[in-house]
């Protein structure tokens, strides 16, 4: 899925792991008219990089051929925990 590939190129500037591997992406839905709707969370509700990451997602996913729009919705339930990270991310960050 090209959307997931693009999400692997979006990073929280303070963490050297992409947002997909961090477990920040909760849902991806593509409508019949090729609008991509993404539900995501943050590692902390007051994350100063939130606007940067959302804009980066919009630009990168929006650059996929055929995509007609990108909506990013911030959600905070369920609350993000380190358990949501992939094993790769945990290893990279020294949690394994």
Can you give the residue range of the structural domain that contains 8? 2-90
- Residue 96 pLDDT grade (very low, low, confident, very high; cuts 50, 70, 90): confident
Identify whether 18 is part of a domain.
Answer: yes
Q: Which residues of 35-60 are buried (b: 16+ CB within 10 A; e: fewer)?
A: ebebebbbbeeebeebeebbebbbeb
pLDDT of residue 47: 87
- Residue 30 pLDDT grade (very low, low, confident, very high; cuts 50, 70, 90): very high
pTM of the shown model: 0.93
pLDDT of residue 71: 98
Which CATH number goes with the domain that contains 46? Answer: 3.30.300.130
pLDDT digits (tens, 9 = 90+) for 54-77: 999 999 999 999 999 999 999 999
Identify whether 96 is part of a domain.
Answer: no
Task: Give yes or no for a contact between 47 and 41, defined as CB atoms under 8 angstroms apart.
Answer: no
Rounded mean pLDDT, 4-18: 93
Does the pLDDT of residue 24 top 80, yes or no?
yes
pLDDT of residue 53: 96
Does the pLDDT of residue 14 top 90, yes or no?
no
| Total domains present in the chain | 1
Identify whether 54 is part of a domain.
Answer: yes
The neighbouring-strand residues paired with 22 are none
């Amino acid at each position: 899925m090209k959307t997931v590939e693009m999400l692997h190129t979006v990073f929280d500037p303070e963490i050297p792991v992409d947002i997909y591997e961090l477990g920040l992406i909760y849902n991806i839905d593509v409508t019949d008219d090729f609008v991509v709707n993404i539900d995501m969370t943050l590692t902390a509700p007051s994350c100063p990089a939130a606007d940067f990451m959302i804009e980066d997602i919009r630009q990168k996913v929006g650059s996929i051929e055929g995509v007609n729009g990108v909506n990013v919705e911030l959600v905070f339930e369920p609350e993000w925990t380190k358990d949501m990270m992939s094993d790769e991310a945990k290893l990279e960050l020294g949690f394994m």
